[in-house]
Amino acid sequence: ILIFVQDISKEEKVRIQTQQLERRALVGQMNAIFAHEIRNPINNITSGIQLLDKLLPADFKQRDVLKGINDDCDRLTHIVDTVLTFSKSQSYHKTPLNLPVLIERILNRWVPRMKRTSVSHVLKVEDNLPLVPGDDRALGQVFNNLISNAVRAMEDSGGGVLSVRLKPIQKTTGTPGVQVDVLDTGPGIPPEVRDRIFEPFFTTKPDGTGLGLSITKQIITMHEGTITLEPLPEGTSFQIILPGVTQEESRE
């Protein structure tokens, strides 16, 4: 009697991932067609508004109505673009990244705005931090989203402190990893909505699309990482865990 034992968990995982990618590609194609059909009437409305703005007399009292319609068209265009970013199948070009350099570069972009709104920032990096295999542009979008949300939340509350902390960790698999904590001293996220913040189209902002954190989580997941909201007495804290480059990978 011959007994063959074979671990098919890896093959099953690959099969499931392949099916997910195929479904996502189909959804992406449908959304691209949908976006094209939506953009055409939006562009026509915008062009009509601009023409009316030129033809109407300078003392036209309802000019603010035209501006409101034009602003709504801009918002719809932004939503369509964001939906496309969320739904399309991404192919990431991963290289060993120095996360502190990437995050510091993004923080520097926000320094002028933070100075104007009484927001200060702190970047703390512990020693022996491994490199992270990741797509520079995609992970840049992740941290830009988190920093943007934190700065805008503190703007509304009169200022505050943004802290970004990075430290090396060892994952349960024994492989190296990096933990990134992004904290702010803003008003925080109400307890009743914390479980929904990563849901697509869920937002507490009147001008938000509800896709920023959804896209952020999608990118982190595609990098084999995790992102969680850590409750604080005051303010907001997001914890991100990303895999690090192993010694074998660093030698290659």
Strands 226-230 and 160-170: unpaired
* Rg value, the chain, Cα: 23
pTM: 0.66
Other CB atoms within 10 A of residue 210 CB: 17
Closest CA to 75 of 183, 218, 209: 209
Residues 13-31, mean pLDDT to the nearest whole number: 69
Residue range 227-231: mean pLDDT, rounded: 88
Q: What is the pLDDT, as a whole number, of residue 90?
A: 59
Count of CB atoms situated within 10 Å of the CB of 151: 20
What percent of the chain stands above pLDDT 70?
A: 83
64 pLDDT more than 80: yes
Residue 79 CA to residue 227 CA, distance in Å, equals: 24
Which secondary structure element, helix H or strand E, spans residue 100, and what is its range? helix 99-116
Q: Is the pLDDT of residue 50 over 90?
A: no
DSSP state of 223: T
Lowest mean pLDDT among 1-15, 63-77, 229-243: 1-15
Q: For 27-31, 33-37, 64-68, 98-102, which range has the lowest pLDDT when averaged over its residues?
A: 27-31
Of all helices (H) and strands (E), which one includes residue 42? helix 9-55
Q: Strands 236-243 and 176-184, how do they pair?
A: antiparallel
pLDDT of amino acid 23 = 67
Confidence of residue 251 (pLDDT cuts 50, 70, 90): low
| Greater model confidence, 198 or 104 | 104
Residue 25 has pLDDT above 70, yes or no: no
Determine contact, residues 73/49, Cβ cutoff 8 Å.
Answer: yes
**CA-based nearest residue to 20, from 81, 93, 87:** 87
SS3 29: helix
What average pLDDT does range 221-226 have in this prediction?
90
The listed range with the strongest mean pLDDT (27-41, 121-135, 182-196, 208-222) is: 121-135
pLDDT in tens, 148-172: 989 988 988 888 999 999 999 987 7
d(C-alpha 213, C-alpha 202), whole Å: 9
Instruction: Give the per-residue pLDDT at 168.
Output: 94
